[in-house]
Structure 1
Amino acid sequence: MRRFYQKQSFRINFHAFLLLLPSLVFLLLFTFYPIGQTIFHSLFKSDLSTPEPLFVGLENFKRLSEDDTFWKVLMNNIWFAIGTIPTTIIIGLLMAVVVNKHIVGRSWIRTFLFYPAVIPAIAIANIWLYIYTPNFGLLNYVLNMVGIGSVDLLAHSNTVMFAMIVMVIWKEAGFFMIFFLAGLQNISEELYDAAKIDGSSRSTTFTRITIPLLMPTTLFVSILALTNAFKLVDHLVVMTQGGPNNASNLLLYYIYETVFKYWDMGYGATLTTILLLIMMIIASVQFLFMEKRIHYN
């Protein structure tokens, strides 16, 4: 009998492994192998001055620690993440709460709010480039109408990051709304009915029932928002090219320039390794901080 159960257990585990095998192969080929190759190439000097890659050990990391542009770009990316992640999550949640109610034209409102998420990145960049254009852009047209006068947000170091943050919030809030909407619809109505019977106010119900039960969704969305905050390239290529004076330059765009503009593959791999390390650390902190606060139905 014991041998029979052992065979059954082995058969079940083997079938489970076969079902997971395609995903494991995909992860190995397209995630772990490229990461390993990137870390390996970060130990080499490979640019236009070296016909063949030259092993330099940790020299690229020493160069990175002395690179003023890297530190400026890293701080830009941190402020960009601080400006976009909480704002898009909060706005996305509020929009989901509104469109989850039985209101007139609910489907049209959902479509309208989600629409920016399906517009191609280059198209979004061109739309906002037109909005911010100093002479005939939509923003300056409105500002001139109210007597404020024209401003060129993309041309000044102290305003360009704010302009990029606003664009990303407009683009991503509706995308996150869909996840929160799915989470809201997964919460049992019986919990809200019980709260009404107990005399709970709307704010109490929202903070004691809705928010805790949305924590799994919030964790997923926060990881997604973090990833998006550190992988912005398309909009920078079209709108600012990292200027003025690197004021809007972000880490992935700096990597893009290093590799494809200056053909410095070794240093680009080093920058990519640091980016991966930063995202792993922040994601781990998010998991440790939020996992304790996650509740399920």
Structure 2
Amino acid sequence: MGDQPRNDLAAIQRRKLALYGWMLMAPSLALLSLFAFYPAIATFFGSLFTRGTTRRPSSFAGFENYLDLFADPTFWTVAGNNLIYAGVTIPVSIIFALIMALWANAHIPARSFVRSAYFTPTILPMIAAANLWLFFYTPDLGIIDRITGFFGAEPTNWLGQPETALAAVIIVTIWKEAGFFMIFYLAALQTIPPDLREAARIEGAGRWTYTRRVLLPLLMPTTIFVFVNALINSIKLIDHLFILTKGGPNNASKLILYWIWEMAFAYFDRPHAAAMTMMVLLVLGIVAIVQFRLVEKRTHYR
């Protein structure tokens, strides 16, 4: 009989702790429900209906909007553009960010100035950065054509031809993002004990061996974090497209989010835009699962 009051007291304590936990989670749950869960659910249901007009209201279409996207050649063009865009900007930005962080972390003259110079593009809004790069890409008058003109090269419409438009957009993104990712690598480098470098030197390890066997494994959690951010940015960045190419010429530089905006607000085809949005969320969800279930378990140095 004496155990019953203790069990009741323990149950009350567990309920109190559970209540405290829900109270602490309530603000975050409210914000997520308002700005993440509800919009995602509403978008999913919106993708299952046809586009309505004043004469013909929308009707349930099932997954017909998704099938229409797969049958649209523009979908495959835009998806291919985004794959190329992500496949180039993500690794190149990470490599440049790591190189800049290693240099900015070294004992060099004017180290603070170097760090500020690398980080300056990150401070600029993407619209301002795109307008700045227009001075580089303008045919015949831009800085690039002025430099290549000294070597006898003909002026090139970098943003107006399909062969170079996407590459020009990619260069702007790398220039803008590398300095931002450098900050994370720089912070991670400053947490690595200097004793490891001294121990490696005593063992006879050179700079490359130390970097490959010690430094890069220790930076792997930061690399995964930067990779996920770079992947998200490769899908969500569209500001510079409004200034540089508007997705042209002939969809050569059009990316997924710009196409979604175009369908929803330029062509008022919101059901297909909602379907495309759900596919993007599905891909990002798969990437998140792979990161947390598989990759993150192998990132820590042992």
Please tell me the TM-score bracket, short chain as reference.
over 0.9
Which residue in 1 is equivalent to 2:84?
79
Q: 1:50 to 1:233 in 2, by over 3 A?
A: farther
**Alpha carbons 1:61, 1:270 under 8 Å: kept:** yes
Q: Deviations over 1:55-113 (max 9, x none)?
A: 21111112112111111100110011001000001110111111111221111111110
**Alpha carbons 2:52, 2:59 under 8 Å: kept:** no
Which residue in 2 is equivalent to 1:258?
263
Q: TM-score, normalised by structure 1?
A: 0.93
Q: What secondary structure, in the 3-state scheme, does the structure 2 residue paired with 1:57 have?
A: coil
Q: Structure 1 residues 54-63 or 216-225, which shifts more? A: 54-63
Any residues of structure 2 matched to 1:192-231 within 5 Å, and which? 192-231=197-236
- Cα distance in 2 between the residues matched to 1:49 and 1:59: 21
What is the CA-CA distance between 1:48 and the residue it aligns to? 4.4
Q: Deviations over 1:13-47 (max 9, x none)?
A: 44333223212221121111111111110001125
The match for 1:58 among 49, 63, 70 is: 63
Alpha-carbon RMSD: 2.0
**Alpha carbons 1:47, 1:265 under 8 Å: kept:** no
Q: 1:13 to 1:294 in 2, by over 3 A?
A: farther
The match for 1:105 among 105, 110, 117 is: 110
**Alpha carbons 2:236, 2:257 under 8 Å: kept:** yes
The one-letter code matched in structure 2 to 1:61 is Y
**Alpha carbons 1:45, 1:266 under 8 Å: kept:** yes
What is the CA-CA distance between 1:264 and the residue it aligns to? 0.8
The match for 1:37 among 42, 51, 58 is: 42
The one-letter code matched in structure 1 to 2:171 is V
Identity of aligned residues (%): 44
**Alpha carbons 1:47, 1:263 under 8 Å: kept:** no
- Cα distance in 2 between the residues matched to 1:73 and 1:107: 41
Which residue in 2 is equivalent to 1:129?
134
Q: What secondary structure, in the 3-state scheme, does the structure 2 residue paired with 1:243 have?
A: coil
* Long gaps (5+) in structure 1: none
What is the CA-CA distance between 1:245 and the residue it aligns to? 0.7
The one-letter code matched in structure 2 to 1:67 is D
- Cα distance in 1 between the residues matched to 2:221 and 2:113: 27
Q: Structure 1 residues 119-128 or 46-55, which shifts more? A: 46-55
What is the CA-CA distance between 1:186 and the residue it aligns to? 1.7
Which residue in 2 is equivalent to 1:117?
122
The one-letter code matched in structure 2 to 1:199 is G
- Cα distance in 2 between the residues matched to 1:192 and 1:289: 30
Which residue in 1 is equivalent to 2:25?
20
What is the CA-CA distance between 1:259 and the residue it aligns to? 0.5
Any residues of structure 2 matched to 1:137-156 within 5 Å, and which? 137-156=142-161
- Cα distance in 1 between the residues matched to 2:10 and 2:200: 47
- Cα distance in 1 between the residues matched to 2:55 and 2:238: 28
The one-letter code matched in structure 2 to 1:165 is I
What is the CA-CA distance between 1:185 and the residue it aligns to? 1.3
The one-letter code matched in structure 2 to 1:135 is D
- Cα distance in 2 between the residues matched to 1:93 and 1:267: 39
Q: Structure 1 residues 58-67 or 83-92, which shifts more? A: 58-67
- Cα distance in 2 between the residues matched to 1:50 and 1:209: 67
The one-letter code matched in structure 2 to 1:76 is N
- Cα distance in 1 between the residues matched to 2:211 and 2:24: 40
Q: Deviations over 1:215-246 (max 9, x none)?
A: 11111110100011111211111111111110
Which residue in 1 is equivalent to 2:295?
290
What is the CA-CA distance between 1:148 and the residue it aligns to? 2.0
**Alpha carbons 1:84, 1:169 under 8 Å: kept:** yes
Q: Structure 1 residues 139-148 or 50-59, which shifts more? A: 50-59
**Alpha carbons 2:169, 2:244 under 8 Å: kept:** no
Does residue 1:188 correspond to 2:193, yes or no?
yes
Greater CA radius of gyration, 1 or 2?
A: 2
The one-letter code matched in structure 1 to 2:215 is T
- Cα distance in 1 between the residues matched to 2:264 and 2:52: 9
Which residue in 1 is equivalent to 2:3?
none
The one-letter code matched in structure 1 to 2:265 is F
Between the two proteins, the alignment pairs up a number of residues equal to 297
**Alpha carbons 1:100, 1:184 under 8 Å: kept:** yes
